[in-house]
C-alpha cells in the first residue's frame, strides 16, 4: 500500500466526516481481508507499505485481525517510488517462500503516472496480471466496486461437487484451480475444470507412482444443513460460535471424510474426471504423524497423461479381466512401470569432467587387477563401466591405453600370484584392444566383457 504524502489528500464526500485517500485505500484492503478471512482462511497474507522506502508492517500470517489493525497504524511518508515497493516484495517473498512458489501481489497506489510502468510490469510477467481503476469520482462506493471486481476475478473460492456413484459431497478446492492453456494448439482455448468432479476409478499408489502434475490442491468438505446453508465454513469473530459450528459439522456424515479415510487405509488413489479428456487424482497426504489432508493433483489434459498407464478411457475394473492382473498373492502389477531399457537419468553415469575422475576410475581397475582372482567380479564390473563410457564418448585411445596397462600388470605379477590372474589380465587386455578398433563386434556398446573360464578353480586351501 502506498503511504506517500499524496495519499493524505482530502476526498470530498457528503457529510461532515473528512476522508483522505489513504482512508479509502485502507477501506478497500479491509474489504479484501474480510473476504479472505471468510473464504480463503488458509491463505497467508503479508502487508507492506512503501513510499521512497518500504516497510513490512505484518509478515505472512493467517490472522486477518492483525492485518486490519495494522491498517489503522500507518504513518505518512515522502514520495511514491514503485521500484522500492517491488524490491521489498521480492525480498519478503524469497525469504519466506523461496523463488519457486508463485505469489500474488496486490499493489495499491493512487498515482496515474505509474500506469505505463504497471503495464510494462504485466508484460514482463508474461501477461499475468491486471490493472483495476476506479470508475467515476473517487468515493467509498466506487472503491468498494473496484475491490469487488478484484475479488470476483482472483479470490472467488472454487466450490465443486465430488461424486462417486450415488455418493456426493460439497467441497472447496484450495487454492482455486487456474485455467490451463495447451501451447501446442493453434488457437488455444483455456481449459477449465468442471464443478462436478466425478470419480472414475481407484488404483494402487505403487501403480500411479509419482506422476508429473500441473498443480496440487486441498479438497475441503463443506458441511450443509437441511436448509442448504453452509455450516462450519469461514471464520467467525466469536470462538464459541465457531466451535459450535464445527461441532454441528462434525455430526453430519460426509462422503469426503469417508473417501479420505478409505484412500489412506487402503493405500490407493482415486482417479477423477476434470473435464473432456482431462483427469486428476485424489489421495491422502500426511502433514505429520497425526494429521493428513485430502489432496487433488491435476494431470496434463489429454487421453494419455501418464504413459505407463496407457489411455485413461481404456482402464477398467479388475473384475473384467480373465485372471487377477495383480496375481493371487498381489505380487505383480499389470502396468509397465519399469521400462525394459534403463533411462539414462535413472542410473549412475560416468562423469569425466575433470582429469581426476578419469584417473580414479583407471586406478580402481588396476587395484582390483592386483587382487585377482578374489576381485574378479569387481574387476570386470569396473572394466565394463569404463569401456562403455569410453565408447559413448568416442574415447577409443583410452581403451588401448588401459589394455597396455593391464599387459604391463601381467608382466609385473609376483611368482606367488595365482595363475588365473595372468589369464584374466591377458583376456581383458585383448578384449579392450578389439573394442578400441571401433569396427569389431566386440566394440558394440551393449557387449560386456565376461571373465575367462579357466581350469584354475577352487579355494586356496585346495591349491595348497
CB 284, CB 292: distance < 8 Å: yes
Provide the phi-psi class of 327: left if phi over 0, else alpha when psi is between -120 and 50, else beta: left
Q: Would strands 54-61 and 45-50 be described as parallel, antiparallel, or unpaired?
A: antiparallel
Provide the phi-psi class of 422: left if phi over 0, else alpha when psi is between -120 and 50, else beta: alpha
CA distances in angstroms from 26 to 72, 131, 326, listed in the order given? 8, 18, 61
- The three cell numbers locating residue 208: 500411479
CA distances in angstroms from 228 to 170, 213, 225, 231, 419, listed in the order given? 11, 34, 5, 9, 89
Q: What is the mean pLDDT of residues 194-202?
A: 93
Report the chain's terminal Cα–Cα distance, integer Å. Answer: 90
pLDDT of residue 337: 45
* Helices first, then strands: H and E counts in the chain: 13, 13
- 285-339 pLDDT, tens digit per residue, is 887 777 889 999 999 998 889 888 888 888 888 888 888 888 777 777 777 645 5
pLDDT of residue 459: 44
Q: What is the mean pLDDT of residues 424-449?
A: 88
pLDDT of residue 463: 39
Q: Of 161, 221, 223, whose CA–CA distance to 193 is shortest?
A: 161
Q: Of 93, 72, 89, 73, whose CA–CA distance to 81 is shortest?
A: 89
CB 170, CB 222: distance < 8 Å: yes
CB 436, CB 403: distance < 8 Å: yes
pLDDT of residue 347: 66
Q: What is the mean pLDDT of residues 393-415?
A: 92
CA–CA gap between residue 69 and residue 91 (Å, rounded): 24
- The three cell numbers locating residue 420: 588365473
Which of 187 and 28 is assigned the larger pLDDT?
A: 28
Give the three-class secondary structure for 174. Answer: strand
The greatest distance separating any two alpha carbons of the chain, rounded to the nearest whole angstrom, comes to: 114
Q: Work out the pLDDT band at 234, boundaries 50, 70, 90.
A: very low
Q: What predicted TM-score, i.e. pTM, was given to this entire model?
A: 0.61
pLDDT of residue 383: 94
- 128-140 pLDDT, tens digit per residue, is 888 888 888 888 8
Q: Work out the pLDDT band at 185, boundaries 50, 70, 90.
A: low
Share of the chain above pLDDT 90, in %: 40
pLDDT of residue 209: 81
Q: Residue 225 above 60 pLDDT?
A: no
pLDDT of residue 444: 87
CB 383, CB 365: distance < 8 Å: yes
Of 9-18, 229-238, 409-418, 441-450, least confident by mean pLDDT is: 229-238
Degrees, nearest 5: CA angle 344-440-429: 85
CA distances in angstroms from 54 to 80, 88, 111, 331, listed in the order given? 10, 6, 17, 61
pLDDT of residue 9: 86
Of 181-185, 369-373, 414-418, 424-428, least confident by mean pLDDT is: 181-185
Q: Residue 15 above 70 pLDDT?
A: no
Amino acid at each position: 500500500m502506498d503511504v506517500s504524502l499524496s495519499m493524505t489528500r482530502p476526498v470530498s464526500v457528503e457529510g461532515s466526516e473528512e476522508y483522505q485517500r489513504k482512508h479509502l485505500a485502507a477501506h478497500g484492503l479491509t474489504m479484501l481481508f474480510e473476504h479472505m478471512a471468510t473464504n480463503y482462511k488458509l491463505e497467508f497474507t503479508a502487508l507492506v507499505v512503501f513510499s521512497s522506502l518500504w516497510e513490512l508492517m505484518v509478515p505472512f500470517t493467517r490472522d486477518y485481525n492483525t492485518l486490519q489493525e495494522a491498517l489503522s497504524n500507518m504513518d505518512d511518508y515522502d514520495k511514491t517510488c514503485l521500484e522500492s515497493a517491488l524490491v521489498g516484495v521480492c525480498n519478503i517473498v524469497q525469504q519466506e517462500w523461496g523463488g519457486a512458489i508463485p505469489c500474488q501481489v496486490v499493489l495499491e497506489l493512487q498515482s496515474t503516472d505509474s500506469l505505463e510502468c504497471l503495464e510494462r510490469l504485466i508484460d514482463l510477467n508474461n501477461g499475468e496480471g491486471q490493472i483495476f481503476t476506479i470508475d467515476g469520482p473517487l468515493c467509498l462506493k466506487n472503491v468498494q466496486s473496484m475491490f469487488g471486481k478484484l475479488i470476483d476475478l482472483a479470490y472467488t473460492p472454487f466450490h465443486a461437487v465430488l461424486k462417486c456413484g450415488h455418493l456426493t459431497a460439497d467441497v472447496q478446492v484450495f487454492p482455486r484451480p487456474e485455467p490451463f492453456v495447451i501451447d501446442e494448439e493453434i488457437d488455444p482455448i483455456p481449459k477449465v475444470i468442471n464443478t462436478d468432479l466425478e470419480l472414475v476409478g481407484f488404483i494402487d499408489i505403487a501403480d500411479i507412482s509419482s506422476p508429473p502434475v500441473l498443480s496440487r490442491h486441498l479438497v475441503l468438505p463443506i458441511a450443509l444443513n437441511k436448509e442448504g446453508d453452509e455450516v462450519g465454513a469461514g471464520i467467525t469473530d466469536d470462538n464459541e460460535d465457531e466451535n459450535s459450528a464445527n461441532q454441528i459439522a462434525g455430526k453430519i456424515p460426509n462422503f469426503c471424510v469417508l473417501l479420505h479415510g478409505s484412500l489412506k487405509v487402503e493405500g490407493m488413489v482415486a482417479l477423477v474426471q476434470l473435464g473432456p479428456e482431462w483427469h486428476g487424482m485424489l489421495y491422502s497426504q500426511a502433514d505429520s504423524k497425526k494429521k493428513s489432508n485430502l489432496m487433488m493433483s491435476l494431470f496434463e489434459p489429454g487421453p494419455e497423461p501418464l504413459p505407463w498407464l496407457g489411455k485413461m478411457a481404456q482402464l477398467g475394473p479388475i473384475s473384467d479381466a480373465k485372471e487377477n492382473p495383480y496375481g493371487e498373492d498381489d505380487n505383480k502389477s499389470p502396468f509397465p512401470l519399469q521400462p525394459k531399457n534403463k533411462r539414462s537419468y535413472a542410473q549412475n553415469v560416468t562423469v569425466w569432467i575433470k582429469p581426476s575422475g578419469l584417473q580414479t576410475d583407471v586406478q580402481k581397475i588396476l587395484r582390483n587387477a592386483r587382487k585377482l582372482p578374489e576381485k574378479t567380479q569387481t574387476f570386470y564390473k569396473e572394466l565394463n563401466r569404463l569401456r562403455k563410457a569410453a565408447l559413448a564418448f568416442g574415447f577409443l585411445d583410452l581403451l588401448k591405453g588401459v589394455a597396455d596397462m593391464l599387459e604391463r600388470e601381467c608382466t609385473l605379477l609376483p611368482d606367488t600370484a595365482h595363475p588365473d590372474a595372468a589369464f584374466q589380465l591377458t583376456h581383458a587386455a585383448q578384449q579392450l584392444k578389439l573394442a578400441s578398433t571401433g569396427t569389431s563386434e566386440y566394440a558394440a556398446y551393449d557387449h560386456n566383457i565376461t571373465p575367462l573360464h579357466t581350469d584354475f578353480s577352487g579355494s586356496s586351501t585346495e591349491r595348497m
